[in-house]
Amino acid sequence: MTRTAEASATLRSRLEAVLSDIAKQKEIIKKIEGSTSARLPRETASEIFIHCLPPSENTYKYLRDPLLLLGICTRWSEIALSTPQLWANLCVEIPAEVTSEFVNYLNGWLSRAKESPLSLSFTGCHTARAEIIGIVAGRAHHIFPCLKSLRVTRVLDDKASPPAANATLQVLRSAPGLVASLFNLEDRPRRSMEPGECVHHGRLTTLVIEGIYEPSAHILEGLRLPALEHLRVTIHSGNTTELISFLTRSSSCLNYLSINGIDQHWDRNSVERCFALVPCLTSLDLTGHEDFHNIVIALLTCGPCEELLPDLFGLTMTREWTYHPDATWYKPLTAMLSGRRRRLRSFRVKWVRYGVPKPDEDDKRVVRELMEEGMEIDLGIY
């Protein structure tokens, strides 16, 4: 009997604890139902949810956080599902194997976005890209007109698909609302477009084209972008005509220009023509051979004639293929920096391969004076 009584007492104690917890939970629910947040209008709650989202660059958090709202309570779930802006950004890391679960997830996300302007980011496995493209293509009539930002990386071109340059131009043609796009195309230089074909896009302000086979020229020759402000491309000397023609045709107020992959065969005339077409430029980032940088420094050194790039505020140079680093390079550099001390506020040089030459005492003195005046200078010397 003693054991039975003890067991009964234990059960009663547990039951009382459970009932106490239930009572507490009911009290909490009652408080929540009467709280200010529970009485918020649906529109206000939607705005709060939108402002609580992390930056879209954080792929994992951005994919996770809207889904978390679905598991809080029925009301929050209903509000989240009826707020298309919560689902307007999609960052997809394409898996090696596209499962039905992943397809349903992607379709569900895009369906919740409804007619909202979209920002899409696709990266990941090459082999599975066709399936993802198929899903997106099925919604192309809705997605592309709504698209405002697009990032596509690691797209490998092959003989079985149209050249990536053609596909890129087709995307831009189909997305008139696009304002920013990045394409990283592992594409060999080949195109099959009709001569004279040109895509005019009046809203695109940011364009980034990267790739190991330098696809930029093949895309630029088919574009006219009058609203462009930010351009980053890979261009070799053999394709300077395409870049100059593009800048002439677009006639945009470009304020940022980054050119990567420049070789030693750029001539002074081509560089000068390029700079003359972007008079509003405030930031310039150049990667390439030392001979090219020597031309740039000479052109940017203020002289009696009207200077190029009068509004240049920041300059970055990444010097590649420097076979015989020479400290005399600093003399024209410091002369250029001194001549532009009124406007230029930031200069940085990065060295790739081989040794880094050291400036002499006179050059160091000039650099110190400029830094004391407020110019930020990083010569890449450690």
- Looking up tokens 């023609």 gives 245
Q: Give the C-alpha separation, 170 to 14, whole Å.
A: 68
pLDDT higher than 50, residue 280 = yes
Task: Find the range with the poorest average confidence among 74-78, 178-182, 191-195, 215-219.
Answer: 191-195
Q: 3-state DSSP call for residue 289?
A: strand
pLDDT higher than 60, residue 155 = no
Q: 3-state DSSP call for residue 183?
A: strand
CB 49, CB 83: distance < 8 Å: yes
DSSP state of 228: -
Q: Which of 66-75, 266-275, 313-322, 337-346 has the highest mean pLDDT?
A: 337-346
Tell me the average pLDDT across 228-238: 84
**DSSP of 120-182, one letter per residue?**
EEEEE-STTHHHHHHHHHHTHHHHHHHEEEEEEEEEEP-TTS--HHHHHHHHHHH-TT--EEE
Token pair, residue 159, equals 């003989």
**Residues with Cβ < 8 Å from 172, sequence gap 6 or more?**
178, 181, 199, 201, 204, 223
Instruction: Say what the pLDDT of residue 126 is.
Output: 60
Q: Give the C-alpha separation, 332 to 298, whole Å.
A: 7
Instruction: Say what the pLDDT of residue 157 is.
Output: 47
Q: Which of 35-39, 130-134, 168-172, 220-224 has the highest mean pLDDT?
A: 220-224
Q: Which residue has the higher pLDDT, 167 or 186?
A: 167
Task: Say what percent of the chain tops pLDDT 90.
Answer: 25
> Three-class SS string for 293-338?
HHHHHHHHCCCCCCCCCCCCCEEEEEEECCCCCCHHHHHHHHHHHH
Task: Say what percent of the chain tops pLDDT 70.
Answer: 76
Tell me the average pLDDT across 68-81: 82
pLDDT band for 230, please (50, 70, 90 cuts): very high
Nearest CA-CA partner of 142 in 99, 94, 174: 174
pLDDT band for 245, please (50, 70, 90 cuts): very high
Instruction: Say what the pLDDT of residue 214 is.
Output: 57
Could you give the C-alpha distances from 307 to 123, 266, 319, in angstroms and in order?
Answer: 42, 20, 24
Tell me the average pLDDT across 19-24: 86
Instruction: Say what the pLDDT of residue 312 is.
Output: 95
Could you give the C-alpha distances from 189 to 166, 220, 226, 243, in angstroms and in order?
Answer: 11, 13, 25, 15
Task: Find the range with the poorest average confidence among 24-33, 102-111, 265-274, 344-353.
Answer: 24-33
Nearest CA-CA partner of 119 in 84, 82, 151, 86: 151
Q: Give the C-alpha separation, 304 to 298, whole Å.
A: 13
Nearest CA-CA partner of 197 in 234, 166, 159: 166
Instruction: Quote the radius of gyration of the chain (alpha carbons, Å).
Output: 29
The overall average pLDDT reported for the chain is 79
Instruction: Say what the pLDDT of residue 118 is.
Output: 75
Instruction: Say what the pLDDT of residue 203 is.
Output: 93
Residue 126 is which amino acid?
H
- Tens digits of residue pLDDT in 314-352: 999 987 755 555 778 899 999 999 999 999 999 999 887
Nearest CA-CA partner of 143 in 125, 122, 128: 122
Please provide the size of the chain in residues.
382
Q: 3-state DSSP call for residue 41?
A: coil
Instruction: Say what the pLDDT of residue 313 is.
Output: 96
- Tens digits of residue pLDDT in 179-211: 998 877 665 555 445 555 688 999 999 999 877
Q: Which residue has the higher pLDDT, 72 or 177?
A: 177
Instruction: Say what the pLDDT of residue 232 is.
Output: 93
pLDDT higher than 60, residue 57 = no
Q: Which residue has the higher pLDDT, 66 or 154?
A: 66
pLDDT band for 158, please (50, 70, 90 cuts): very low
Q: Give the C-alpha separation, 284 to 342, whole Å.
A: 17
pLDDT band for 160, please (50, 70, 90 cuts): very low
Q: Give the C-alpha separation, 335 to 243, whole Å.
A: 29
Strand-pair partners of 351: 319
Q: Give the C-alpha separation, 60 to 68, whole Å.
A: 12
- Tens digits of residue pLDDT in 135-153: 766 677 777 887 788 877 6
